[in-house]
């Protein structure tokens, strides 16, 4: 029988279930604490943000907008969200922000709800060329029942072919011209394509989920000042906050802004995870202080890492453009659709290096792709610089080129990582901060 005063009389079976979860959480924490987290869509949060997201706000609701709520008891959170809106507008230099969305994908669903109707046309990057799944029929585009046309792709430049994509936009006249990717090495040629979209009455939407921190830090591109009308994004990739999303706009039109707000609540969210919203606000404040330096160092590390991998003998994509201008690096490990990327990711995990397999241009099978998509933002957050990227590339070569036993490499990775256990670029940076898990 389960009592009210603790676990003293809880059933052994249920206690075991809870212990299994606790043990798995601990194992995951150990994996990342001792290893190299290099998945491009992940990051870690500061100790202050960690504290916020485990606060009492976790179980609370605040439907509506600041000081216009459907529930009582929201006074404290009104202060938090109002400050967050002010900081988001300042960080991104825009007149409109919504910080309620629970993820980048939810931000995309909400934006498409605000900007289109079922049956409308949309243009976007195909998933085969690096577009996000929410840009496809399998995701938000299909959920909204939009007719999708994908941009012709320039594989050498890893971006939409400017002339052919502009021609497609003029031909289709989409309700929404969507840009941005999940595989995102270089800025989109947005001004030229936005001009074509606006000529035919399209709204230009930019998904900045992966590069949002680089945009805010002035290190990538500035979509809302290059022709985009709306920008969505994640708060937990290169923007170093808790999991969640943003919707931002360059429009000062009150009616347009209301459509965006209403698309989030009540359109796609009821409870919008107040603890994560509060964490975003702290992350925005930290970003104002440290974000430019963090963003610059992230891009510098990605470029150094890509060059080091190439020097080790890896096939690194986009050599002619300097490999990358973001936090991401793409490597090819075998023939198209061969599963070589999946095999490489597995071997690296055995060595304590956490990556993800990824389709590259020409691949057609998501579960057996030829490539890896690598991100350096988490390594940057714990204080690694361009010199350390050479060491990381050497670990990759030992596993994937020299075929060394991954367990031997894992021991060296653990020793290497032991010097990088402090979260940087955040408030109260000192030895007491430690690692988040």
Nearest Cα residue to 357 out of 349, 367, 365: 367
Q: How many CB atoms lie within 10 A of CB 431?
A: 7
Output the pLDDT for position 7. 58
Pairing of strands 121-124, 147-150: parallel
Location of each CATH 3.40.640.10 domain in the chain: 51-284
- Residues of the chain below pLDDT 70: 1-8, 429-437
Location of each CATH 3.90.1150.10 domain in the chain: 291-417
Output the pLDDT for position 429. 56
Q: Assess contact for 371 and 387: CB atoms under 8 A.
A: no
Q: Report the CATH fold assignment for 51-284.
A: 3.40.640
Question: How do residues 223-233 score in pLDDT, each as one tens digit?
Answer: 999 999 999 99
Going by CATH, does the domain composed of 291-417 fall within 3.30.390.10? no
Token code pair at residue 257: 């802004």
Q: Name 142's Cβ contacts closer than 8 Å, sequence gap at least 6.
A: 136
340-345 long-range Cβ contacts below 8 angstroms, 24+ apart: 340/369, 340/370, 340/371, 341/369, 341/370, 341/371, 341/372, 342/367, 342/368, 342/369, 344/372, 344/400, 345/372
Q: How far apart are CA 281 and CA 380, in angstroms?
A: 21
Output the pLDDT for position 11. 86
């Amino acid at each position: 029988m389960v009592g009210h005063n603790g676990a003293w009389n809880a059933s052994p079976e249920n206690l075991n279930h809870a212990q299994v979860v606790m043990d798995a959480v601990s194992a995951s924490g150990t994996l990342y604490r001792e290893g190299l987290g290099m998945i491009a869509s992940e990051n870690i949060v500061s100790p202050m943000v960690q504290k916020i997201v485990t606060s009492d706000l976790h179980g609370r609701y605040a439907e509506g907008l600041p000081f216009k709520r459907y529930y009582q008891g929201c006074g404290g959170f009104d202060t938090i969200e109002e400050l967050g809106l002010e900081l988001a507008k300042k960080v991104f230099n825009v007149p409109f922000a919504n910080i309620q969305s629970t993820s980048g994908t939810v931000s995309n669903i909400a934006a498409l709800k605000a900007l289109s109707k079922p049956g409308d046309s949309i243009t976007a990057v195909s998933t085969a060329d690096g577009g996000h799944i929410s840009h496809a029929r399998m995701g938000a585009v299909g959920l909204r029942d939009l007719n999708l046309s994908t941009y012709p792709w320039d594989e050498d430049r890893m971006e939409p072919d400017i002339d052919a994509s502009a021609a497609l936009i003029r031909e289709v006249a989409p309700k929404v011209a969507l840009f941005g990717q999940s595989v995102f090495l270089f800025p989109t040629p947005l001004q030229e394509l936005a001009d074509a979209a606006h000529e035919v009455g399209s709204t230009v939407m930019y998904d900045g989920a992966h590069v949002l921190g680089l945009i805010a830090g002035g290190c990538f591109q500035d979509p809302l000042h290059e022709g985009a009308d709306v920008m969505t994004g994640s708060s937990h990739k290169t923007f170093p906050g808790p999991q969640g999303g943003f919707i931002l706009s360059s429009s000062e039109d009150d009616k347009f802004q209301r459509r965006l707000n209403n698309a989030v609540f009540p359109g796609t969210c009821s409870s919008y995870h107040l603890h994560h919203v509060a964490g975003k606000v702290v992350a925005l404040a930290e970003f104002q202080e440290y974000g430019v330096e963090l963003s610059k160092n992230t891009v510098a590390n990605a470029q150094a890492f890509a060059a080091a991998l190439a020097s080790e003998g890896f096939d690194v994509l986009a050599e002619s453009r300097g490999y990358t201008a973001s936090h991401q690096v793409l490597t090819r490990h075998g023939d198209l659709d061969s599963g070589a990327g999946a095999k490489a990711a597995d071997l690296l995990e055995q060595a304590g290096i956490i990556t993800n397999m990824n389709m590259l241009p020409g691949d057609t099978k998501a579960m057996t792709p030829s490539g890896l998509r690598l991100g350096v933002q988490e390594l940057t957050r714990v204080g690694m610089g361009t010199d350390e990227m050479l060491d990381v590339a050497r670990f990759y070569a030992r596993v994937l080129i020299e075929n060394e036993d991954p367990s031997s490499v894992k021991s060296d990775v653990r020793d290497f990582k032991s010097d990088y256990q402090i979260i940087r670029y955040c408030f109260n940076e000192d030895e007491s901060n430690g690692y988040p898990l």
